Amino acid sequence: MARLTDLPYEILFELLLYSTNEELVTVCRWTYFCLRQPTPRLCYKFVRQRGKWRKARVIASALQYKFLSVGLLDQIERHEAELLRPLKKGKRSKSGRDERLLSDIRLPGRLFALDSTESLPASRKPRPISKKRKRRNGNGGKSAVVGTVASGNQQRFDLVKRLLKMGLAVSGERGNTGLLLSAKAGNLPMVRLLLRHGADAVAGGDNKALLMAIVYGHLDVAKRLVKAGAPVSSLALRYAVQKSHYQIIAWLMKVGAAPDMVTIQLLDKLV
Q: By mean pLDDT, which of 14-18, 103-107, 125-129, 138-142 is the weakest? A: 138-142
pLDDT at 250 over 80: yes
Assign 170 a pLDDT band (cuts: 50, 70, 90): confident
The string of pLDDT tens digits covering residues 180-229 is: 999 999 999 999 999 999 888 887 677 899 999 999 999 999 999 999 99
Assign 242 a pLDDT band (cuts: 50, 70, 90): very high
Assign 147 a pLDDT band (cuts: 50, 70, 90): very low
* Whole-number pLDDT of residue 45: 85
DSSP 123: S
Q: Is the dihedral of CA 175, 177, 181, 184 positive or negative?
A: positive
Q: Percent of the chain, pLDDT > 90? A: 38
**Those residues with Cβ within 8 angstroms of residue 118's Cβ, 6 or more apart along the chain or in another chain:** 151, 152, 153
* Whole-number pLDDT of residue 226: 95
Rounded Cα–Cα distance for residues 129 and 132 (Å): 8
The string of pLDDT tens digits covering residues 69-105 is: 999 999 999 999 988 765 555 454 454 444 567 878 8
**Those residues with Cβ within 8 angstroms of residue 83's Cβ, 6 or more apart along the chain or in another chain:** 48, 53, 54, 55, 58, 76
**Residue 107 in 3-state DSSP?**
coil
Bigger pLDDT: 213 vs 142: 213
Residue 224 · residue 191 · CB < 8 Å? yes
Bigger pLDDT: 102 vs 134: 102
pLDDT at 270 over 80: no
Rounded Cα–Cα distance for residues 71 and 4 (Å): 27
* Whole-number pLDDT of residue 76: 94
Residue 166 · residue 73 · CB < 8 Å? yes
Which ranges in the chain belong to alpha helices (H)? 9-17, 29-36, 40-50, 55-62, 70-78, 131-137, 152-166, 173-185, 188-196, 208-215, 219-227, 234-242, 246-254, 261-270
Burial 200-227 (b: 16+ CB within 10 A, else e): bbbbeeebbbbbbbbbbebbebbbbbbe
The string of pLDDT tens digits covering residues 50-59 is: 888 899 999 9
* Whole-number pLDDT of residue 86: 55
The overall average pLDDT reported for the chain is 79
The string of pLDDT tens digits covering residues 29-39 is: 555 566 667 78
Provide φ and ψ at 54, rounded to 5°: -100, 130
Assign 4 a pLDDT band (cuts: 50, 70, 90): low
The string of pLDDT tens digits covering residues 251-264 is: 999 999 888 898 88
pLDDT at 16 over 50: yes
Rounded Cα–Cα distance for residues 22 and 42 (Å): 20
pTM: 0.76
Rounded Cα–Cα distance for residues 10 and 18 (Å): 12
* Whole-number pLDDT of residue 30: 59
* Whole-number pLDDT of residue 144: 36
Which has the closest alpha carbon to 130: 119, 139, 143, 120?
143
Backbone dihedral region of 167: left (phi > 0), alpha (psi from -120 to 50 degrees) or beta?
left
Rounded Cα–Cα distance for residues 42 and 31 (Å): 12
